[in-house]
Structure 1
Amino acid sequence: MNLLIDMGNTRLKWAVTTAGHIMTGSPLVNSRINREELIKLWQGRYRPRRIAISCVSANQLLELVQLIARELWLDVDIILVKSQAQAFGVINAYEQPEKLGVDRWLALVAAWQQYHRPACIVDCGTAITVDLIDADGRHRGGLISPGLTLMKKSLGLGTEALPFSEINHAVGLADYTEAAIYSGTLMAAVGLIKQVLATQADDTQLILTGGDAGLIAGQLHLPCSIDPDLVLRGLLCALEGHT
Structure 2
Amino acid sequence: MNLLIDIGNTRLKWGMVKDHRIIAGRSLVHDQVTRHELVSLWEKIPPPQHIAIACVSAKHLLEQVLSVALELWPGVDIVPAKSQARAFGVRNAYENPEKLGVDRWLSLIAARHCYPGPACVIDCGTAITVDVLDANGKHQGGLISPGLMLMKKSLSLGTEQLQFSEAHHAFGLATNTAAAIYSGTLSAAVGLVEHAVARQPENMQVILTGGDADLIATQLVFRPIIDSDIVLRGLSIILKSNA
Report the TM-score, using the length of structure 2 for normalisation.
0.98
Show CA shifts across 1:74-126 (max 9, x none).
Answer: 01011111011111111000121110000000000001101221111100000
Report the identity percentage.
Answer: 61
Choose 44-53 or 126-135, whichever is displaced more: 44-53
Q: Distance in 1 between matches of 2:202 and 2:169?
A: 32
Q: Is the aligned partner of 1:45 residue 2:41?
A: no
1:176-214: CA deviation from partner (whole Å, max 9, x where unpaired)? 100100000000000001111111111011100000000
SS at match of 2:242: coil
Give a deviation string over 1:39-64, Cα, whole Å, max 9, x none: 01111432001100000010000001
| 1:170-185 paired onto structure 2 within 5 Å | 170-185=170-185
Distance 2:179 2:112 in 1: 38
- 1:134 matched to 2:128? The reply is no
Query: Mind listing any 5+ residue stretches in structure 2 that lack a counterpart?
Result: none
Distance across 2 between alignment mates of 1:145 and 1:126: 9
- Count of paired positions: 243
Q: Distance in 2 between matches of 1:212 and 1:68?
A: 29
Q: Which residue of 2 aligns with 1:65?
A: 65
Partner of 1:152: 152
Please state if 1:201 is matched with 2:212.
no
Cα distance in 1 for residues equivalent to 2:155 and 2:45: 44
In the other structure, the counterpart of 2:241 is: 241
Q: Deviations over 1:141-167 (max 9, x none)?
A: 000000000100100000000011111
Residues 1:8 and 2:3 are matched in the alignment: no
In structure 2, the residue matched to 1:81 is 81
Q: Counterpart in 2 of 1:114?
A: 114
**Structure 2: how far apart are the matches of 1:104 and 1:172?**
31
Deviation at 1:33, TM superposition (A): 1.1
Output the CA distance in 1 between the equivalents of 2:79 and 2:220: 37
Residue identity opposite 1:119 in structure 2: A
Q: 1:31 Cα shift? A: 1.1
Structure 1 unmatched ranges of 5 or more: none
For residues 227 and 198 of structure 1, the distance between their equivalents in structure 2, rounded to whole angstroms, comes to 21
The aligned residue for residue 94 of structure 2 is 94
Q: Any idea what SS the aligned residue of 1:105 has?
A: helix
- Structure 1 counterpart of 2:165: 165
